[in-house]
Homo-oligomer: A and B are copies of this chain.
Amino acid sequence: MSTRYKIKVSYDGTNYSGWQVQPEHRTVQGELERLLMHMTGGEKPVRVESSGRTDAGVHARAQVAHFDLEKPVDPQYFQRGLNAQLDRDIRVVSFEKVPSDFHARFSAVGKEYRYFIYNGLIIPPTKRLYYLQEGRRLDVEKMRRAAELLVGEHDFAPFSANPGRELNGTVRTIYSLNVRKHGADITLEVQGNGFLYKMVRSLAGYLVRVGIGDLKPESVHEILDHGIRTAVVPTAQPHGLFLWKVFY
């Protein structure tokens, strides 16, 4: 009988080709699997399953993943060992034993993402890796009106970068979508029961268009009614996006 472990992982996605293992590319899953295999004797691969992949350049405050080890280990010792060997742009922030029916993806009931925007002409260098820079003035009130219209259960196909690939259909529920502003920093905070491929970046790209006045907040209705992805909805750059929390 193997033992199942759940980890929370925080990462700076700047130098990774996303979460998912890819040959010849440095990925977060790849780094974790390589080290876990090494730490468990180096003979059997350890498969690390996450709540969902993140794309190249996307960050995570708290990605969740699980994996099975043949022999039980001391969580604290293993967590320290992983952090000692990982580069500092990945940190295992928690490590615990869980029942074998816990599944990082299938047990998840919701997620929160945050998207960070610096609304100014010149972005401070220390924010450049974690914020989208937008020089045109964003009207936050308009963004908030559009955000309100996006909340609820909808067919979000127009906000998926690849609706045909969605195995579980394209209907999702957004529980909340808040637009916060502190000085030049604008943060989009979105919670939902699940998100389509590049959906948060598409929501961000759309809300920026609303904020600069390219589209009216009420255009949400037309876009959702239209039902298919068009060039009206751009995909915002990956580096402003953080997987913030996974709910179980």
Binding site for B on A (CB under 8 A): 10-12, 59, 61, 83, 88-93, 122-126, 128-130
Contacts and interface: CB of A to CB of B under 8 A. Distances in A.
Contact of A125 (B91, B122, B128): B91
A124 B11 CA distance: 8
B10 A88 contact: no
A91 B123 contact: yes
A125 B88 contact: yes
A83 B130 CA distance: 19
A124 B88 contact: no
A14 to B, nearest CB: 9
Please give the count of copies of this chain that the complex contains. 2
A93 B130 CA distance: 19
Contacts of A125: 10-12, 59, 88-91
Contacts of A88: 123, 125, 128
Contacts of A93: 122
Contacts of A92: 122
Contact of A83 (B11, B61, B83, B122): B122
Contact of A89 (B10, B89, B91, B128): B128
B91 A126 contact: no
